[in-house]
Amino acid sequence: ARKIIIDTDPGQDDAVAILLALASPELEVLGITCVAGNVPLPLTSKNARVVCELAGRPDTPVFAGCERPLERPLVTAEHVHGKTGLDGITLPEPGMPLQDTHAVDFLIETLRSLPPGSVTLCPLGPLTNIATALTRAPDIAGKIAEIVLMGGAYFEVGNVTPAAEFNIHVDPQAAEIVFRSGIPLVVMPLDVTHKALTTRARVEAFRNLGTPVGHAVASWTDFFERFDMAKYGSEGAPLHDPCVIAYLLKPDLFAGRHINVEIETVSELTMGMTVADWWRVSGRAPNAMFMGDLDADGFYALLTERIARL
Ligand code: BDR
Ligand code: CA
């Protein structure tokens, strides 16, 4: 199985991504590292454990990482995810422990202990933990097989400001470190995730599984959807973060371009914008596989089939 570390700020869509990974035998989740983002760190590191227990996998090591972005004050998104970060259904308090090790130390130690190219990182939130690890231990860059992340936007521009997507906007300095690291990157921007829309039929398919996990996923997406339908006027809500895990399982669901992507870190107006050279006009070397399209029916078929296993 492919070894992965999920770096996350759950978040309902993060939660579904974690479930998808835990349900998939092709993937071995070495650990889940939590970061401040959608809600503050104490909640994201609690929510990750709530999700592992829901999946029946309390053995999954969960680590708490950075509680604020590298340079900027933390911006959270309770207006999207609710006060707990996982509003929509009340689940039991986690009984499984949070690991004592800091998430950044876990990342560094794990990557150093394994042969180069054995671990894929899956960031689903602001890139603070990953950038801190790369800054503290530059030698780990050569150890990472690939980073497949949710963040940024090009044609879809922004969701938290007119110019920027939330994960990149919250910690643009961290994003810049990751995008300039030379590590192979696959990016799932809003251009892709806004095609991963929940519809009534897709949510009912989760609920009709008749399992506690199916019920939780339906309840989360219902909650999440209320916000997005009002904001975008679209049929349903985008399930952003599961796109990262789905890519590892079925890359053919996605299409994109290998291009140069730079991060805006100076202008307040466009802070955290992913300046993606889609038309290759800059002459700058490509640093990311920037996705633009998704087979949404195939994505939901995969997701529902996997959630049904839990
Ligand atoms: C991203 O921001 C968060 O609210 C979601 O969990 C996702 O990772 C989308 O912009
Ligand atoms: Ca997230």
Question: How would you write the pLDDT of the chain (310 residues) with one tens digit per residue?
Answer: 999 999 999 999 999 999 999 999 999 999 999 999 999 999 999 999 999 999 999 999 999 999 999 999 999 999 999 999 999 999 999 999 999 999 999 999 999 999 999 999 999 999 999 999 999 999 999 999 999 999 999 998 899 999 999 999 999 999 999 999 999 999 999 999 999 999 889 999 999 999 999 999 999 998 887 766 666 667 788 999 999 999 999 999 999 999 999 999 999 999 999 999 999 999 999 999 999 999 999 999 999 999 999 9
Residues forming beta bridges with residue 119, ordered by sequence position: 3, 144
**3-state DSSP assignment of residue 119:** strand
CA 12 to centroid of ligand 2, rounded, Å:
8
Compute, in angstroms, the gap from residue 95 CA to the centroid of ligand 1. 26
What are the C-alpha distances in Å from 251 to residues 11, 114, 299? 24, 25, 10
The answer to whether the CB of 271 falls within 8 A of the CB of 169 is: yes
11 lines ligand 1 (CB under 6 A): yes
- Alpha carbon of 8 to ligand 2 centroid (Å): 6
Rounded to the nearest angstrom, the gap between the alpha carbon of residue 141 and the centroid of all alpha carbons in its chain is 20
Q: How far apart are CA 88 and CA 217, in angstroms?
A: 9
Neighbours of ion ligand 2 (CB under 5 A): 9, 11, 14, 124-125, 241
Residue 10 CA, distance from chain mean position: 9
Supply the pLDDT for residue 229. 67
Q: Is the CB of 167 under 6 A from ligand 1?
A: yes
Say what the pLDDT of residue 157 is: 87
Whether ligand 1 lies within 6 angstroms of the CB of 77 is answered as yes
Buried-exposed string 236-250: b where 16+ CB fall within 10 A, e elsewhere: bbbbbbbbbbbbbbe
User: Helix (H, G, I), strand (E, B), or coil: what is residue 174?
Assistant: helix
Ligand 1 atom at shortest distance from the alpha carbon of 10: 6
Distance 113 CA to ligand 1 centre (A): 31
In the chain, the DSSP E strands lie at 2-8, 27-34, 62-64, 119-123, 144-150, 185-188, 254-259, 261-263, 274-276, 288-294
The residue type found at 67 is E
> Would the pTM of this model clear 0.95, i.e. be above it?
yes
What integer pLDDT is reported at residue 227 of this predicted model?
65
Q: What is the ipTM of this complex?
A: 0.99
* Residue 166 Cβ < 6 Å to ligand 1: yes
